[in-house]
């Protein structure tokens, strides 16, 4: 059994990357959730670029600030229509594309 290294707290991101590389289940779960994290990251960046607080954005959308907080923390997975509405309120449009996964070799 491989001995786990103790984490010294120095570089948390490096530690997370290391755990990710060593754990296939974690890799699979991250890949499954990656689209959610990516859209959340883009919404946060757009909101900040427009110099709006979560409260300001919530007021524009007619929702509670905690609703925006739940979306931005990835605690809640918003519907596509909600993402479109948020993007529109920020002066953006949503652009979606499908990317083919790398094919896996088939067994002969």
Indicate if the alpha-carbon torsion angle 90, 80, 61, 36 is positive or negative.
Answer: negative
Q: Where are the beta strands (DSSP E) in 1-108?
A: none
pLDDT digits (tens, 9 = 90+) for 45-89: 999 999 999 999 999 999 999 999 999 998 888 899 999 999 999
Q: Is the pTM of this model over 0.75?
A: no
Which domains are seen in the chain, by residue range? Answer: 20-89 (1.10.260.40)
The mean predicted confidence, pLDDT, of the chain is 84
pLDDT digits (tens, 9 = 90+) for 35-51: 888 999 999 999 999 99
């Amino acid at each position: 059994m491989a001995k786990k290294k103790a984490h010294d707290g120095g570089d948390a991101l490096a530690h997370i990357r290391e755990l990710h590389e060593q754990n296939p289940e974690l890799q699979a779960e991250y890949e499954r959730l990656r689209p959610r994290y990516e859209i959340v990251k883009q919404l946060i960046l757009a909101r900040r670029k427009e110099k709006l607080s979560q409260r300001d954005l919530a007021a524009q959308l007619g929702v509670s600030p905690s609703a925006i907080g739940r979306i931005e923390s990835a605690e809640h997975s918003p519907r596509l229509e909600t993402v479109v509405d948020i993007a529109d309120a920020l002066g953006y449009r949503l652009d979606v594309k499908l990317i083919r996964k790398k094919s896996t070799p088939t067994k002969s």
